[in-house]
Structure 1
Amino acid sequence: MVILTQDRETSVLADTASETVRLSGRVLQPTRVFDTCWRFASARQAVYEARLAGLAQPWTDDPILSQHRFTNCYRAADRVSQTLIGDVIYQGSQDWDEIFFRTLLFKIFNRESTWQLLTRELGEVCWDAYDYRAYDQILSAAFAKGRRLYSAAYIVSRRSWGRGASTAITCGLLEMMMTAGVPGRVLEAATMREAYEVLLGYPAIGPFLAYQFTVDLNYASQMAFSEMDFVMPGPGARDGIRKCFGRSADGIEADVIRYMADSQQEHFARLDLPFHGLKGRPLQLIDCQNLLCEVDKYARVAHPEIAGISGRSRIEQSYRLDARPLRAWFPPKWGLND
């Protein structure tokens, strides 16, 4: 297990505080949070590996990790992504239009229980037999009973519609995309960024969601983009970058994320931190984007004196044990499955 301690952080930072990062024509001075980011990654991955191995608690001696909820270092390893990959993308018809429909429907709500509700009521979720009224009736009835349908992480998808947003409008967005030929346009995109820009052109899908949806679709076998092709920093990652590098990094956050991905082994070695990746797979751009978002949260407690952009000062979600066994099945094209 990796233990994050204040003493070790102080001794290491004494040797690295004077180091600078030259990036995009700027000289960035890392703060204390920069090294904490790498320590957090090592410790969080160790927790994931311990759980996957079936080891008993405690999985870490770090009190912040023990008491608060943080996503995995690898986005694809999180429970919702595992459900998407194993139960949504690679289950059912492998026709691209069907994969696109299932993926976007799942991710617009981004909640496992909502997907289970639809599959239970409909038997099979598919574009070929899509009936707007049936979907709206099921979802609206559940919403009227007080059932939570949307994940808090994707609440932007509703707010973007303004007042009066409903499950009917949400389903209408997906139907609009399907009938406009968006699946084919995404698949024909020459680059990951081009695929992202196709999605970005639709209501309620801003830069953050368009990037996240592109990453989700790229788990499918039909899309062959590298996760190192393109990144779009979200608000949380921008907060984390501000805490790691200060205001000097404003406006070049995508370059900072790429630097983090490219130099990860150097920094794990510099700090003498164990990090073996995801079955040998290094952190990709999307993983570094998420990592910076998580270290923003971690630093609210570990480094309250270092401000981000949002001004948030506490971690909102406490850790609660999910007793379900972890799944670890990844897109077959990655070559990570046994």
Structure 2
Amino acid sequence: MPSLLASPAAEEHAHRACDEVVVAGRRLRPTAVFDTYWRFAVLRDRVYRARVAGAPAPWTSDPILARHRFTNCFRAADRVSQQLIAGVSYRGDQRWEEVFFRTLLFKFFNKASTWELLVGALGGTPTWADYDFGRYDGVLSKAFASGGRLYSAAYITPPPAMGESRKHANHLRVLETMMATNAPARVLAAKSLQEAYRILLGYPAIGPFLAYQYVIDLNYAAEMPFEEGDFVVPGPGAKDGIRKAFGAAADGIEAEVIHYMTDTQEEHFARLGLEPVRLGGRRRLQLIDCQNLFCEVDKYARVAHPEVAGISGRARIKQVYRADSAPLTPWFPPKWGLTDAAGAGASGTRGASGAAERS
């Protein structure tokens, strides 16, 4: 299947190629996937902006983007992140202990329907103050026994070993342990995002990838003071995308590569004659966003650049895009100060309940 991004000639303002970059003292020779990374970001963001503006489909003429499902350039704009930010973090009791509890309860399952199940069965937003293991376990066990899926398939969440027979019950026990060992206060008192990450990493079944995702999610909340540019933990998909963009020479320095992409994004957008991608007209791609983009470009390149080898050896994109007619109503952490509602969404001070669909 041909792609508008697979060939520089397809871009109106394609400029000179990048022959070499230096990262962590290594000289890396980018493949064609490197420039596709930047073009993909621009075209994917155009799809998002078109949907926010309420434009009718089709939102892209790129056949790969039109056929398959890809996350947004900005992690905070994706469906689950929007549900978390607007419907969990900023809705309900804003005491930090309660925000921490809600965030981890939501993220262990990472599925909006599981959260809504608990809210409905409990008669309101779950709180640590009224938490009861038997009640929560009963709601989730009943749904599981009826064939309900409690966990998102977005990424693998390993089952903790906490003495319970069911995965969800063990996750409840992990959350109890976190609350009992003062994790909320310790995370908030951390001197950096990385230190907060290391605190989460010390709990059962929370490995490096999940600890990083969770600390980013906690950092959306009003009280968490850290910048997303503190540090990054490359996931398996990102490592695959980095291998495709730079070859085996980038093995072992994936975090440094993501820093490089974040730091030089304006340079490469300009080199290719592209307008830099911005959230709300002002927020540039952060480390977490560049990490996620490598995951998406890894998938995109399976079709656009089948000749470029990655790590996993996967050759197909599994998820097919299915249109959703629901309007997008983006809402981001007020502390970010985004006000461009016509562009990529606005922030306010409301305790929102809506959630934007992944577009």
User: TM-score normalized by structure 1?
Assistant: 0.95
| Pairwise CA distance, 1:258 | 0.6
Q: Is 1:174 equivalent to 2:190 in the alignment?
A: no
> Which portions of structure 1, spanning 4 or more consecutive aligned residues, are displaced by more than 4 angstroms?
9-14, 159-165
CA contact (8 A) 1:233 1:289 kept: yes
Distance 2:271 2:216 in 1: 30
Name 2:195's counterpart in structure 1.
Answer: 194
Distance 2:160 2:184 in 1: 24
Q: How does 1:268-279 map to 2 (within 5 A)?
A: 268-279=269-280
| Pairwise CA distance, 1:50 | 0.4
| Pairwise CA distance, 1:170 | 1.3
CA contact (8 A) 1:109 1:154 kept: no
Name 1:290's counterpart in structure 2.
Answer: 292
Name 1:96's counterpart in structure 2.
Answer: 96
Distance 1:174 1:159 in 2: 11
Distance 1:269 1:109 in 2: 40
Q: List alignment gaps of at least 5 residues for structure 2.
A: 339-345, 348-359
Distance 2:213 2:277 in 1: 25
CA contact (8 A) 2:88 2:102 kept: yes
| Pairwise CA distance, 1:323 | 2.0
AA partner of residue 299 (structure 1): A
Match of 2:42, SS state, is helix
Q: How does 1:1-338 map to 2 (within 5 A)?
A: 4=5, 6=7, 8=9, 15-16=16-17, 19-124=19-124, 125-158=126-159, 165-279=166-280, 280-336=282-338, 337=346
AA partner of residue 144 (structure 2): F
Match of 1:308, SS state, is coil
Match of 2:307, SS state, is coil
Distance 1:162 1:262 in 2: 45
CA contact (8 A) 1:88 1:102 kept: yes
| Pairwise CA distance, 1:275 | 3.1
AA partner of residue 64 (structure 1): I
| Pairwise CA distance, 1:261 | 0.5
Distance 1:309 1:11 in 2: 32
Match of 1:153, SS state, is coil
| Pairwise CA distance, 1:321 | 1.1
CA contact (8 A) 1:237 1:291 kept: yes
Distance 2:329 2:22 in 1: 40
Distance 1:85 1:314 in 2: 32
The higher relative CO (CA closer than 8 Å, separation ≥ 6) is in 2
| Pairwise CA distance, 1:326 | 1.1
Distance 1:38 1:161 in 2: 44
| Pairwise CA distance, 1:15 | 3.7
* Structure number having the greater helix percentage: 1
Distance 1:12 1:317 in 2: 31
Match of 2:154, SS state, is helix
AA partner of residue 316 (structure 1): K
CA contact (8 A) 1:110 1:154 kept: no
Distance 2:216 2:193 in 1: 9
| Pairwise CA distance, 1:287 | 0.3
Distance 1:131 1:329 in 2: 31
1:275-303 CA-partner distances (Å, limit 9, x unpaired): 34101210000000000000000000001
| Pairwise CA distance, 1:8 | 1.5
Aligned length: 336
**CA-atom RMSD in angstroms:** 2.1
Change (3 A) 1:159 1:292: farther
Match of 1:22, SS state, is strand
| Pairwise CA distance, 1:176 | 0.9
| Pairwise CA distance, 1:188 | 0.5
Matched-pair identity in %: 60
| Pairwise CA distance, 1:274 | 2.6
| Pairwise CA distance, 1:325 | 1.5
| Pairwise CA distance, 1:178 | 0.7
AA partner of residue 286 (structure 1): I
User: TM-score normalized by structure 2?
Assistant: 0.89
